[in-house]
A = this chain, B = another copy of it.
C-alpha cells in the first residue's frame, strides 16, 4: 500500500540487528488516520474469507487489528502477555520468542473469547520470522477455532515468515513488503 510504504521510507529507520524502527507512526506514537487506512485495506483484502473474529497480540498489534476489525464489523481479541486478575484461572497460554525483546514471551487468551468453530483472521504489525503469529495460530487451534487469514502491516520478506506459514494454506497479506534492509537501505517489493 503506497501510503504505508511512503511513510516507512520517510520516517522508518533501520537499526542494528535487523530492527526496523517505526515508532513514530505505528508502535509508540501512532498515526490514527494511517492505521484507519491500513485497516480499511486489510478489511478489503480479507472481505471474502468469512472471518468471525480478529485475533492479535498486545501491544503493537492492537491498533491495526482494531481498525481492521472496525471495517469488517467484527470483534477483536488481543492476546495478553501477562494474565490480568480479571481473567479466569484457566486460560489458553503459549510461549513465543520475541524478536524485539530477545526473550520468550507468553501469549494468553481467555477461553471465554476464543472458542470452537470461530473463523479467525490474525492481524499484527509485523510478519518477520512468523513466531508470534504461530503463537496466535496455536492458541486459536487449541481453542478449536480455524485460521482463515493472516494480515500484517509490514513484512520483512527476508526473514522467512511467509514460507513458515505455508502449511496453514491460508491467504497471507502484508501492506508493505521489505525485500532487504542490507547496509541500512530499505528495498521494497512493489
Contacts and interface: CB of A to CB of B under 8 A. Distances in A.
Interface residues of A, number: 42
Contact of A24 (B15, B82, B113): B113
A59 interface: yes
A30 B78 contact: yes
Given A19-B86, A23-B87, A23-B112, 6 more contacts: A28-B84, A30-B66, A32-B66, A32-B69, A33-B70, A62-B63
A73 interface: yes
A36 B85 contact: no
Label chain A's interface by main secondary structure.
loop
A87 B100 CA distance: 11
A110 interface: yes
A75 B110 contact: no
Interface in A50-77: 58-59, 62-63, 66-67, 69-70, 73-77
Which 9 residue pairs are nearest across A and B when measured between Cβ atoms?
Answer: A32-B70, A29-B113, A21-B86, A32-B69, A29-B77, A62-B62, A58-B59, A30-B76, A23-B86
